[in-house]
Amino acid sequence: MLQFNSALLAAVGSFTGPYAPYQSVHLRPHCGGVLLAASDHGKVTAIGFDRMGTADESITIIPSPELLKASSGIKTAERGIVIDGETATVTTYYKTSSNNGKQLPVQHSITPFPDIDGALAACVQRWSATPSLSETAGRYRVAYLERAIKAAGLLADSLVLSAFDGGPLRIQGETLELIILVMPQTAEPIPALPDWVQHFG
């Protein structure tokens, strides 16, 4: 049985691919919590971690659109999910009214999830060994990032994102016809890698 923040499943589940073994989300115990991972052919990978989650097994599921929709976070309440066998129960915890639970079927994948531990270990090693050229990282408003990427994506299939100390995030495509600069809200110290990511190293 696994229990964790359902919004993580909705977020990580949006990075699955259309074909096995990438159409699934892998869930497992990790550092005293629950780790979630999904990848679309290795081109984009999402990993999530719920420190307060509990898990006594590792499973790989193919999340249905209904399950992802039910798991999505909402601003007016907290949502949690319990996966037990073939059933997922998503519970919405309202602050001012009674809780609401919804049961949905869970489809387990028969194809093993790709091994991402080695790739994550290489990333951790690289991030730890690379000298820091920047002292700060920018904190960017999500709405601006979404608008910038959507607009730049009208002219290009792939984008380059780069930033420098105290300056804007530069987004541009390969045609160089459009450059979008997203100004940071604040300049903050580059955050340390979370301990649950360093664990892979």
Q: What is the pLDDT of residues 15-67, one digit of tens each?
A: 998 888 899 999 999 999 999 999 888 778 889 999 999 999 999 999 999 99
In which band, very low, low, confident or very high, does the pLDDT at 103 lie, cut at 50, 70 and 90?
very high
- Which pLDDT belongs to residue 133? 66
pLDDT at residue 163 tops 70: yes
Q: What is the pLDDT of residues 61-96, one digit of tens each?
A: 999 999 999 999 888 888 999 999 999 999 999 887
Helix (H) or strand (E) holding 77: strand 77-84
Amino acid letter for position 171: I
CA distance 104 to 127: 40
Q: CA gyration radius for the chain?
A: 19
Share of the chain above pLDDT 90, in %: 47
Exposed, middle or buried, 97 (CB in 10 Å: 0-12/13-18/19+)?
exposed
- Which pLDDT belongs to residue 166? 64
Out of 125-139, 152-166, 186-200, which region has the weakest mean confidence (pLDDT)?
A: 125-139
In which band, very low, low, confident or very high, does the pLDDT at 102 lie, cut at 50, 70 and 90?
very high
Residue among 196, 184, 92, 89 at smallest CA distance from 139: 184
- Which pLDDT belongs to residue 132? 67
In which band, very low, low, confident or very high, does the pLDDT at 180 lie, cut at 50, 70 and 90?
confident
- Which pLDDT belongs to residue 189? 81
- Which pLDDT belongs to residue 34? 96
- Which pLDDT belongs to residue 64? 96
Highest-confidence range of 90-94, 98-102, 139-143, 189-193, by mean pLDDT? Answer: 90-94
- Which pLDDT belongs to residue 18? 87
- Which pLDDT belongs to residue 6? 95
Can you list the domains of the chain with their CATH numbers? Answer: 2-114 (3.10.150.10), 126-198 (3.10.150)
Average pLDDT, the chain: 89
Global confidence as pTM = 0.81
pLDDT at residue 104 tops 80: yes
- Report DSSP state, residue 62: E
